[in-house]
């Protein structure tokens, strides 16, 4: 009973702090969450801390904060924390992991440090994973490109004397205004790019009318994946893929639902031309009407994917750079943006020397997972966002990927930790874990969500009540569309792991 009361109280505090200041929210995350931050590497999960060995029966990370305190990091987990008993974990999950009206859940729970399987219900069965697929894309992006890589959007001197070429380099989070260095969406701005272009044109003695062309040749293959439902495309779940877009191919950065531009490259180029017209007015420059697609000037200049500058080819007149790959991965996981996921997949393929299309993206994901030691023999990928119904991934494979992120030997993957939504607080888990049956996981569970018409999934990690880091994956297929109990079943199951004193 005390545990139940404590969990409900925790959730009320979290819910209250969400309505207050960002500082309060940060503090409760630091003080209450039983998870390390994205900068913590695997040794910090398990390094011994003698000062905590005499801790009270209620762990510090599950106690309510009594006051606001100065951030001072998170204590490492105890290496002596007991591994839960598989029988007791099963007893909890068998009572919570039940479908509402049809279909079935598969599941796998592992101890993160040892890899011991604590619960397995069809964990090796291949299932439609929905947006849990983005966990695989995150791993591929961080391994193939690195966390600090940025994508360049350039303006090149065209072949005609008074022409410029806008060259897409993979940044689909461009902003229409000035560059905003402290933002992820809009870190690179078209107004800044236009202003820098005008400066270069003036230095080159260009006057009069300037024509704008577009080079979007970086991405290859069909812009629209034939595995996607046209109804999903019409609803704005995704759109044809191009290597440059405003606001992740959204008309308005504040509206993340509804139809998207069907040619984000032309839409972006037209917006750039308008900014160029405004920026050049004081210098006597005008912009010729219309934007046309050019050849591959960007490819001739060394490729626009990362870094700055090329060895040969057209002169680079101006350049702006995106947020880092790590920041984009965090945004992708938090918001579950399909368009951003597909763009990151194509850029991962490009970094691996493969064609930057859907086939290259799926091949890169498989390659990077294999490099981690994940067995991909049964895996089938039709896209890298999880929107396609042709994807097949098992709960075991997801649990292994989450374990690689939290505790594996590749430190680059720690950069994905901060992107996992936090139950009841952030991202796609913001409005969940709000009732008595799930309050025990509020602020503690970190997991990637996934939802399609008859599919629901949740894969992530949690520290249990005795201080043991667990990774889990729950996948439901063949479910009754719209049945409210299925999402609640996954949340109750993750909360049961958070509350588990299952030695």
Q: What is the pLDDT of residues 440-468, one digit of tens each?
A: 999 999 999 999 999 999 999 999 999 99
Residues 236 and 347 in one domain: no
Count of structural domains, the chain? 2
Residues 340 and 489 in one domain: yes
Alpha-carbon distances, residue 288 vs 164, 207, 214, 273, 291 (angstroms): 11, 12, 14, 9, 8
**Looking at the structure, do residues 135 and 162 belong to the same domain, yes or no?**
no
| pLDDT reading at 124 higher than 90 | yes
Q: Are residues 169 and 318 in the same domain?
A: yes
Domain of residue 204: give its range: 152-323
pLDDT higher than threshold 80 for residue 231: yes
pLDDT (0 to 100) of residue 68: 60
- pTM for this predicted structure: 0.85
Question: At which of 259, 293, 323 does a domain end?
Answer: 323
- The H or E element that residue 470 is part of is strand 469-477
Which pLDDT value is given to residue 267?
A: 97
Nearest to 193 by CA among 165, 221, 216, 220: 165
Which residue carries 């894309």 as its tokens?
Answer: 137
> What residues pair up with 304 in beta bridges, in sequence order?
none
Higher pLDDT, 359 or 64: 359
Within this chain, do residues 261 and 314 fall inside the same structural domain, yes or no? yes
What gap in Å lies between CA 164 and CA 185, rounded to an integer?
25
Is residue 392 a part of any domain in this protein? Answer: yes
**CATH value at residue 470:** 3.40.710.10
Residue 310 sits in the same domain as residue 332? no
* Final residue before a domain boundary, out of 295, 323, 351: 323
Cβ atoms 240, 223 nearer than 8 A:
yes
β-bridge partners, 462: 470
Q: 156 and 115 share a domain?
A: no
Residue 51, pLDDT score? 43
Q: Is residue 217 in a domain?
A: yes
Query: Is 11 part of a structural domain of the chain?
Result: no
pLDDT for position 43? 45
* d(C-alpha 383, C-alpha 223), whole Å: 12
Please state, in angstroms and as integers, the Cα–Cα distance from residue 237 to each residue in 95, 147, 248, 339, 426, following that order: 34, 26, 11, 8, 20
Pair (300, 276) in one structural domain? yes
In tens, the pLDDT along 12-59 reads: 444 444 544 443 443 444 344 444 433 333 444 444 444 444 444 666
243, 246, 241, 256: which is closest to 186 by C-alpha? 246
Cβ pair 45, 407 in contact under 8 A: yes
Q: How far is CA 204 from CA 29, 269, 284, 315, 467, in A?
A: 53, 22, 14, 11, 64
Calculate ∠ Cα 321-324-329, nearest 5°: 135
Residues 180 and 311 in one domain: yes
Residue at 80 is within a domain: no
SS3 435: coil
103 assigned to some structural domain: yes
Q: By three-state DSSP, how is residue 173 classified?
A: strand
Tokens of 216: 């979007």
* Residue where the block lists tokens 């109990």: 485
Domain's final residue, options 275, 297, 323: 323
Proportion of the chain above pLDDT 70, given as a percent: 81
């Amino acid at each position: 009973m005390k545990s139940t009361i404590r969990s409900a109280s925790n959730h009320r505090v979290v819910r209250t702090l969400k309505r207050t200041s960002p500082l309060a929210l940060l503090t409760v995350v630091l003080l209450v969450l039983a998870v390390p931050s994205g900068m913590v590497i695997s040794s910090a999960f398990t390094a011994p801390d003698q000062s905590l060995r005499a801790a009270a029966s209620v762990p510090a990370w599950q106690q309510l904060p009594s006051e606001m305190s100065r951030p001072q990091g998170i204590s490492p987990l105890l290496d002596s924390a007991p591994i839960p008993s598989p029988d007791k974990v099963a007893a909890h999950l068998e009572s919570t992991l039940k479908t509402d009206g049809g279909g079935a859940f598969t599941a796998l729970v592992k101890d993160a440090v040892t890899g011991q399987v604590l619960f397995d219900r069809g964990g090796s069965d291949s299932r439609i994973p929905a947006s849990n697929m983005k966990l695989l894309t995150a791993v591929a992006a961080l391994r193939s490109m690195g966390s600090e890589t940025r994508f360049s959007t350039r303006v090149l001197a065209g072949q005609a004397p008074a022409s410029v070429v806008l060259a897409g380099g993979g940044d689909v989070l461009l902003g229409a205004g000035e560059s905003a260095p402290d933002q992820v969406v809009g870190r690179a701005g078209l107004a800044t790019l236009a202003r820098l272009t005008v400066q270069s044109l003036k230095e080159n003695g260009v006057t009069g009318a300037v024509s704008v062309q577009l080079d979007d040749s970086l991405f290859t293959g069909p812009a629209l994946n034939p595995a996607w439902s046209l109804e999903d495309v019409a609803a704005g779940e995704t759109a044809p893929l191009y290597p440059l877009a405003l606001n992740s191919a959204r008309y308005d950065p504040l509206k993340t639902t509804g139809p998207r531009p069907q040619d984000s490259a032309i839409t972006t180029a037209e917006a750039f031309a308008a900014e160029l017209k405004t920026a050049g007015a004081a210098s006597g420059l005008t912009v010729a009407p219309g934007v046309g697609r050019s050849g591959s000037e960007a490819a001739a200049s060394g490729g626009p994917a990362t870094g700055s500058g090329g060895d040969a080819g057209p002169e680079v007149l101006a350049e702006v750079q995106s947020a880092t790959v790590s920041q984009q991965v965090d945004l992708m996981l938090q918001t579950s943006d399909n368009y951003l996921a597909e763009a990151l997949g194509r850029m991962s393929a490009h970094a691996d020397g493969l064609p930057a299309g859907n086939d290259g993206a799926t091949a890169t994901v498989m390659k990077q997972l294999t490099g981690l030691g994940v067995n991909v023999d049964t895996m089938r990928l039709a896209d890298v966002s999880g929107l396609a119904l042709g994807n097949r991934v098992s709960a075991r494979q997801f649990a292994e990927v989450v374990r690689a992120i939290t505790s594996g030997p590749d430190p680059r993957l720690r950069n994905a930790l901060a992107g996992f939504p936090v139950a009841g607080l952030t991202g796609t888990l913001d409005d969940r874990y709000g009732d008595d049956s799930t309050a025990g996981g509020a602020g503690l569970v970190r997991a990637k969500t996934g939802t399609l018409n008859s599919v629901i999934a949740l894969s992530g990690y949690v520290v249990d009540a005795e201080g043991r880091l667990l990774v889990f994956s729950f996948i439901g297929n063949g479910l009754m569309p719209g049945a409210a109990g299925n999402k609640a079943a996954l949340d109750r199951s993750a909360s049961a792991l958070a509350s588990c004193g299952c030695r």
